[in-house]
Chain A
Amino acid sequence: MKRVRADFAPRRRPSRALWLALAVLAAGAFTAVAFVAYRFEELAQQRAALESAAAERRVAATVVPTKPPAPPPYERSAREMLAEHRMAWPQVLTALEATALVGVTPMSVEMAASDGVARVEVSFTDHARLLEYLEALNAGQGDLRWVLVQAQTQPAGGSVAVLHARMSKQ
C-alpha cells in the first residue's frame, strides 16, 4: 500500500531579512554585471579606436606620393613669352642691320626662343662673299656667335645658305 505524506504544517517562507539579503545580493549582482558590461563596451570602443588608428597609419605608410600639381594653363605661354623676352634678339637684329654686303641678301629671319637660336636664311652669289658676310656678322659681337649651317647652290642659279646664331639669355 502507498504511503500517505499528508502534512498540513505551513510551508516555511523566507523571512524578511532573507528577502532583504537576496535583494541586496541581486542588486549587487546586477550592479556587477552592469559594470562589467560597461567596461566591456568601453574596452570595445578603445579597441575599435586603436584598430582605426592602426589602419590609418597603414594607409598613410602605403600611400604613393602625389603628383605635383599641374601647372596652370597659362604657365607655358608665360614661360615662352619670358624666354623670348630674355633672348638677345635685339643683338641679332642689330648685327643683321649693321652688316650689309653686296652679293649676300638676308631672305628670312626666324627667332626660335625655345631653342635659343636665331635662324637667318640668306641668298648669296658665291661662297667667298658668304664667308665674308659670316665674318662680318661675328666681328665685334660679344657673346653672339654665327655659324653656317647649310649652303647650297640651286640648279636654276643662285645659292641659299642658312646661318644660325646661338642667342644667349640676357
Chain B
Amino acid sequence: MWSVGSKPVDVYLGLAEGGLAVAGRPEGWAPHVDVESAAKHWFAHARSLVGRGLRRPGVRVWLSGALTRPFVWGPVQGLAGWREVELAAQAAAPDATGLAAPCAVSLDELPSAAAALVVAMEQHVVASIVAAANEAGVRVVSMRPWWALALERQAREAAGPIVIRDTDALTVLAASDDDVWRLAHSYVPPPSEDQTPSLLDRLFLSANLERGAARHVALTRDDWPGITARLEEAAA
C-alpha cells in the first residue's frame, strides 16, 4: 500500500461529488460540476496537506461506478494477443456500458475460453485526472473502481452476486460457481431504494441467479474512508 510517510491519501471521484481522506480521516466532501475540476481541487488540497517533501505525494484515486463501468464480454475467438483484445474491447465498450467513445479498458484475462470481465472508462476522463494530478504536483499511484475494492472482500468471503451502491451508480456483479463471469453492470443513475429489489429480481431471474444470495455493500459519503479502510483490511 502506498503512503506519504504513514498517511495514505485517498481521493474519491464520482460523476457529481467527491472527497478527500488522509490516513483514513475525511478531509472534505463536495459536489462538483465535472470530474476534471473536482480532481484539480482535491489534488491541490492533498498537496497542501501532505506535499511538503521533495518527492511528489502519491494519491490513490477511487472512482464511482458511473465513471468505471464493468461488462461481461466474450468468449471471443480469433484474437491474437493482448493488443487485439484491448482494441476489440474498446470497440465493444460504448455499446455495452453507455459510455462515450473512445474508452479505456482493463481486462484481467483473455476472453478466449470463457467470458471475461471488462472495466471501461472514458479516455478523456482518465486524461483529465492525470493532467490534474500533474498540474497539482501529485502522483496518481492507482486509479481504480471503488466497487472493485468491495468486490475483493466479497471474493474472499463468499460466492454469489454482489450489489454495490456508491454515489452515482448501482453495480451488480455475479459469477458462476466455477468463476465464470455471468453478470456485470452498472446502473447509472442508480435506482432508488424502492426500485432496487424489483430491478434485482428481474435481473437475477433473467440471469438464472438467486436473489437471496446477493450481498449488498454501500458507500456513504460520511464514512467512505472508513468503509474503504475496512474493505482493504478485509481484502488484505
Contacts and interface: CB of A to CB of B under 8 A. Distances in A.
Interface of A: 1-10
Interface residues of B, number: 31
Contacts of A1: 151, 154-155, 159-160, 162, 173-175, 179
B19 interface: no
Contact of A2 (B117, B119, B126, B142): B117
B186 interface: no
Given A3-B108, A4-B145, 15 more contacts: A1-B151, A1-B162, A2-B108, A2-B181, A3-B152, A4-B70, A4-B108, A4-B117, A4-B148, A4-B151, A6-B119, A6-B144, A7-B144, A9-B141, A10-B130
Max chain B Cβ within 10 angstroms of own Cβ: one of A1, A5, A7, A9: A1
Nearest to A10: B130
A7 B108 contact: no
Given A1-B162, A1-B175, A2-B175, A8 B104 contact: yes
B155 A8 contact: no
B121 interface: yes
B107 to A, nearest CB: 8
A7 B140 CA distance: 11
Contacts of A10: 130, 140
Given A1-B179, A3-B152, A8 B106 contact: yes
Interface in B161-195: 162, 173-175, 179, 181
Task: Tell me the dominant secondary structure on chain A's binding face.
Answer: loop
Interface string B106-146: 10100000000101010000100010000000001111110
A4 B175 contact: no
B106 A6 contact: yes
Contacts of B126: 8
A87 B109 CA distance: 122
A6 B63 CA distance: 11
Contacts of A3: 108, 148, 151-152, 155
B61 interface: yes
Nearest to B151: A4
Contacts of B119: 4, 6
Nearest to B144: A7
Contact of A7 (B106, B130, B154, B160): B106
Given A1-B173, A1-B179, A3-B152, A8 B159 contact: no
